[in-house]
């Protein structure tokens, strides 16, 4: 019996992207694509590069209902595609951007020959009504994965190393990830140009980057300069000015920011090398990397730039003290723990809560990761400005919330939830979670709380939660987990500025078990965070 083939329907927008890629491949040769992508290269340099690289394909990402029947759909468009194989690199990039939303969803890759080259089609299957519809909408708008690709025509290791150096130092191309695809035995290296274009080098076999150790160390050692340059960019609202007026020159920006034109030009040049801006003939544009420094946008990193370049930057000068004593440098520098210090200075307290909101992007998948159908009351323990609680209340109309926080934090939360028309569904409770936690909740939240404290204090907080919870009530813990890269960096930050620590998953499981919880699944979240799901299982100690 022959079963019917499930057709992989493509939207007209996706079909148009494929047609555009076919037209581009047919109309351009290697030299033309290089000239378009990398205008800083001279004709002589392009000719030399063309001896080692050939324009191989143009790539697009599309979103069929299913991978089944995709090739048939492409044949109806006049293409002759090969087989669909897994795309390791692009799936990894999407997983890093969207965390648990991606789940186990595969990403397919198929090549369709076009006049001696090909169109490379990445396909993320997005069934109707799937949460992945949001991923598809975001990717269509941003086109993160669209690019042109060059294949290495010269064997050996010298040509790839020389090409990478030339492309970065002369053409201004910035590395943008990549990896080894074992299905094709090809190393894929992505680059981003100064003009927001992406391209790919395809190198046969497995290749590892060969950075210059001294230059790499110098780059790390001058990281403090980058922190302060970014803080100055934030203080001067350069991202906002360039978003409102792309292509401004130094003189106009100096007038808007009240700065010395020559000094500003030198700062802008440095920010360009950091990848936050692009420049051409003394005019400047924001890059994707610089966009999050805009104010008034969702998940703006503007407040974090001010905080990390301000009091936390200052306290990091005492990191040696922290390493020698195990005590936070912030208290050594300022004479108080940072929570107390910020509470007594409203401008810093406001900045801190805005900074916490900047990384609230990590909460996006949470409403869909937990079954809230039988839940009525959600208690957010130490929830700051209520970003996670607000997301749950917006996603599930039947929920009511309780937010436990310090008085100054509650004011910020009340303002935020009022602006979202959610304050009437939330009770605001002043208190100390080391002493007591509101009872009667079906779900309790501990989001970025436990990493602020040592193990003994963590156990105290968890036991206060357990005392307030009935058996079967759920606890959701959001933290960054070691050995993930961002968690390793934040662990040093916690040592220096807070006195807490980041932990790995087994460590948190041990603490939760000691406090009377049965620990369930652990889900990955955006920005390197994780969600640990636990249930109140035994009487508290």
pLDDT at 2: 45
- Mean pLDDT to the nearest integer, 213-240: 90
Residue 358: pLDDT band with limits 50, 70, 90: confident
The backbone torsions φ and ψ at residue 489, rounded to the nearest 5 degrees and listed phi first, read -65, -45
247: left (phi over 0), alpha (psi -120 to 50) or beta: left
Q: What angle do CA 461, 466, 469 make, to 5 degrees?
A: 130
Nearest to 26 by CA among 132, 117, 111: 117
Q: Which residue has the higher pLDDT, 159 or 122?
A: 122
Give CA separation, 77 vs 5, 14, 19, in Å: 18, 12, 9
Residue 430 has pLDDT above 90, yes or no: yes
Residue 211: pLDDT band with limits 50, 70, 90: low
pLDDT at 297: 87
Strand order in the sheet with 283-286: 248-249, 283-286, 277-280
Residue 339: pLDDT band with limits 50, 70, 90: confident
Residue 180 has pLDDT above 90, yes or no: no
Joined tokens for residue 179: 């990896």
Contacts of 249 (CB under 8 A, 6+ apart): 282, 283, 284
Hunting for tokens 């509101």 — which residue is that?
438
The backbone torsions φ and ψ at residue 422, rounded to the nearest 5 degrees and listed phi first, read -115, -5
Distance of CA 217 to the CA centre of its chain: 25
Residue 7 has pLDDT above 60, yes or no: no
Residue 162: pLDDT band with limits 50, 70, 90: confident
pLDDT at 142: 87
- Mean pLDDT to the nearest integer, 499-524: 95
Residues paired with residue 149 on neighbouring β-strands, in sequence order = 57, 200
Residue 157 has pLDDT above 80, yes or no: no
Residues paired with residue 190 on neighbouring β-strands, in sequence order = 200
Active site residue 241: no
Give the torsion sign (CA, 383, 388, 391, 397): negative
Distance in angstroms (rounded) separating the CA atoms of residues 87 and 117: 19
Contacts of 175 (CB under 8 A, 6+ apart): 168, 189, 190, 191, 192
Judged by DSSP in three states, 109 sits in: strand
Nearest to 176 by CA among 198, 156, 161, 159: 198
Give the torsion sign (CA, 299, 300, 303, 306): positive
Judge whether 122 and 211 are in contact, CB under 8 Å.
no
pLDDT at 46: 92
Q: Which of 57, 451, 523, 533 is catalytic?
A: 451
In this predicted model, what pLDDT tens digit does every residue of 258-276 receive, in sequence order? 999 999 999 999 999 999 9
Residue 12 host element (H or E): helix 12-27
Nearest to 175 by CA among 157, 187, 159, 158: 187
Judge whether 185 and 204 are in contact, CB under 8 Å.
yes
Joined tokens for residue 11: 């939207």
pTM, full prediction: 0.62
pLDDT at 3: 39
In this predicted model, what pLDDT tens digit does every residue of 270-300 receive, in sequence order? 999 999 999 888 899 999 899 999 998 888 9
Burial of 399 (0-12, 13-18, 19+ CB in 10 A): buried
pLDDT at 346: 86
Distance of CA 399 to the CA centre of its chain: 28
The backbone torsions φ and ψ at residue 132, rounded to the nearest 5 degrees and listed phi first, read -70, -10
């Amino acid at each position: 019996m022959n079963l019917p083939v499930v057709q992989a329907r493509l939207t007209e927008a996706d079909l148009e992207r494929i047609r555009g890629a076919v037209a581009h491949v047919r109309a351009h040769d290697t030299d033309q694509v290089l000239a378009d992508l990398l205008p800083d290269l001279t004709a002589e340099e392009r000719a030399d590069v063309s001896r080692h690289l050939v324009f191989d394909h143009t790539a697009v990402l599309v979103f069929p209902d299913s991978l089944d029947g995709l090739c048939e759909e492409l044949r109806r468009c006049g293409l002759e595609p090969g087989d669909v194989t897994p795309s390791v690199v692009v799936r990894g990039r999407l997983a890093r951007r969207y965390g648990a939303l991606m789940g186990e969803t595969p990403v397919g890759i198929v090549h369709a020959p076009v006049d001696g080259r090909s169109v490379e089609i990445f396909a993320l299957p997005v069934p109707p009504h799937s949460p992945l519809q949001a991923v598809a909408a975001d990717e269509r708008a941003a086109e993160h994965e669209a690019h042109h690709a060059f294949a290495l025509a010269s064997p050996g290791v010298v040509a790839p190393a020389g090409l990478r150096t030339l492309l970065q130092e002369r053409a201004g191309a910035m590395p943008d990830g990549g990896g080894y695809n074992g299905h094709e035995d090809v190393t894929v290296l992505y680059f981003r140009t100064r003009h927001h274009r992406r391209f790919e080098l395809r190198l046969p076999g497995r290749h590892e980057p060969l950075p210059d150790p001294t230059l790499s160390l110098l780059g790390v050692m001058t990281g403090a300069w980058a922190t302060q340059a970014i803080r100055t960019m934030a203080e001067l609202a350069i991202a906002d000015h360039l978003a409102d007026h792309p292509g401004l020159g130094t003189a106009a920006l100096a007038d808007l920011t009240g700065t010395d034109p020559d000094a500003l030009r030198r700062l802008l040049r440095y920010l360009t090398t950091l990848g936050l801006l692009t420049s051409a003939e003394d005019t400047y544009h924001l890059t994707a990397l610089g966009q999050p420094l805009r104010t008034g946008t969702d998940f703006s990193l503007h407040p974090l730039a001010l905080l990390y370049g301000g009091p936390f930057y200052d306290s990091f000068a005492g990191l040696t003290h922290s390493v020698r004593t195990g005590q936070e440098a912030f208290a050594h520098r300022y004479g108080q723990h940072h929570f107390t210090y910020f509470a007594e200075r409203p401008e810093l307290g406001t900045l801190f809560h805005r900074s916490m909101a900047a990384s609230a992007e990590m909460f996006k998948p949470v409403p869909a990761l937990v079954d809230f159908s039988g839940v009525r009351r959600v208690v957010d323990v130490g929830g700051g400005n209520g970003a996670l609680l607000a997301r749950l209340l917006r996603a599930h109309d039947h929920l009511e919330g309780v937010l436990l926080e310090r008085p100054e934090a509650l004011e910020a939360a009340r303002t935020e939830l009022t602006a979202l028309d959610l304050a009437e569904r939330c009770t605001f409770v002043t208190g100390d979670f080391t002493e007591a936690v509101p009872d009667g909740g079906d779900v309790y939240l501990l989001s970025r709380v436990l990493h602020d404290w040592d193990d003994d204090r963590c156990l105290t907080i968890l036991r206060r939660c357990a005392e307030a919870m009935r058996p079967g009530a759920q606890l959701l813990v959001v933290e960054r987990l070691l050995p993930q890269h961002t968690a390793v960096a934040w662990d040093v930050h916690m040592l220096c500025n807070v006195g807490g620590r980041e932990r790995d998953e087994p460590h948190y499981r041990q603490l939760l078990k000691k406090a009377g919880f049965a620990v369930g699944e652990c889900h990955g979240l955006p920005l390197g965070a994780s969600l640990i799901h636990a249930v109140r299982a035994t009487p508290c100690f």
